[in-house]
Amino acid sequence: MKKSPPPKPTDTELAILRVLWRLGPATVRAVHAEFNRVQETGYTTVLKMLQIMTEKGLVRRDESERSHVYQPVLSEQHVQRQLVGHLLDRAFGGSAQKLVMQALASKKSSPRELAEIRRLLDKLEKEA
């Protein structure tokens, strides 16, 4: 039987995943300290969130040391693609063109970002 992928993370879970992607494998204390830079949260709240995320399959816990170490199961890119795919289907009827047009219209892109987008489009055009 094929194992189903972890569920789509909530906003809080995504914020914790961002901390773990930035830090790498980390203890609750390290995640809590970093998380508190953005949003003040209690240590036990972060601990409980990491326990829930472990149960959901979003993070794995290494219990070989006294302080448990948590790390994301999926890469940042994988989760971003999962979330964009979900948004693409729900809000844009599966149209990548509509998604990209709205993304570019909603926030001004820097010349550097636009150049990178052009490079990506050129690469995709050559592959097609």
If asked whether residues 63 and 83 sit together in one domain, one would say: no
CA dist., res. 46 & res. 51, Å (int): 9
Q: Does residue 3 sit within a domain?
A: no
Give the number of other CB atoms < 10 A from CB of residue 69. Answer: 17
d(CA 43, CA 4) in angstroms, rounded, equals 31
CATH number, residue 16: 1.10.10.10
Q: Within this chain, do residues 91 and 109 fall inside the same structural domain, yes or no?
A: yes
* Token couple for 19: 């901390």
Mean predicted confidence (pLDDT) in 25-39: 95
Tens of pLDDT, residues 45-92: 999 999 999 999 999 999 988 889 999 999 999 999 999 999 999 999
Q: Which of 44, 72, 100 is the last residue of a domain?
A: 72
Tell me, what's the pLDDT at 98? Answer: 92
DSSP state of 64: S
* In a shared domain, residues 67 and 82: no
- In this prediction, residues 8-34 reach a mean pLDDT of 96
The domain containing residue 23 runs over which residues?
11-72
The 10s digit of each residue's pLDDT in 107-127 is: 888 999 999 999 999 998 999
pLDDT in the model for residue 2: 58
